[in-house]
């Protein structure tokens, strides 16, 4: 499993949701099947933000509370921290400060995990804990400081 931390993503929701939409659009364009975890109160706003993308950047997606068939077939599923995984996913995007509990589920394997960390100090502190937890699992996370770039890296999502 490859783990990339995207650091210093702007903390205000308007900027962070724009960042997540671009990241998910690039992942979809690369053919990735993504499970994206956000705080419970950010599920609906991210869903809405994805619907407002330009037609050329449309990202087919559903919320984790959608019908099972839709969750399994959609390339991008927006979930809260406690939602159980539905369907095979190659990429996990964790955009909330907690450890993504979906990583604890039996038989769940992701080829890539992208941790989106805002510039908020509490978010950074939580990210340090997650970094150490990945290291404890034998994974060597990679850090990408988003303050140094204007757009997220493409493909299997994350550079």
At a CB cut-off of 8 Å and minimum separation 6, what does 60 contact? 28, 74, 75, 76
Characterize the bridge pairing of strands 61-63 and 91-94: unpaired
Q: Output the DSSP codes for 94-123.
A: E-SSS--GGGGSTT---SEEEEEEES-HHH
pLDDT for 117-138, tens place per residue? 999 999 999 999 999 999 999 9
- Beta bridge partners of residue 78, listed in sequence order: 36, 63
pTM for the full predicted model: 0.90
pLDDT for 23-81, tens place per residue? 999 999 999 999 999 999 999 999 999 999 998 889 999 999 999 999 989 999 999 99
């Amino acid at each position: 499993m490859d783990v990339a931390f995207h650091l210093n993503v702007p903390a205000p929701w308007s900027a962070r949701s724009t960042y997540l939409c671009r990241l998910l659009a690039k992942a979809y364009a690369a053919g990735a099947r993504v499970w994206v975890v956000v705080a419970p109160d950010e599920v609906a706003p991210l869903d809405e933000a994805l619907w407002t993308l330009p037609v050329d950047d449309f990202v087919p997606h559903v919320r984790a509370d959608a019908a099972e068939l839709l969750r399994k077939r959609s390339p991008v599923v927006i979930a809260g921290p406690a939602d159980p995984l539905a369907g095979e996913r190659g990429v996990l995007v964790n955009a909330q400060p907690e450890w993504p509990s979906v990583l604890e589920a039996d038989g769940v394997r992701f080829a890539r995990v992208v941790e989106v960390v805002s510039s908020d100090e509490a978010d950074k502190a939580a990210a340090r804990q997650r970094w150490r937890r990945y290291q404890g699992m034998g994974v060597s996370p990679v850090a990408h400081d988003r303050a140094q770039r204007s757009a997220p890296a493409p493909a299997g999502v994350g550079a």
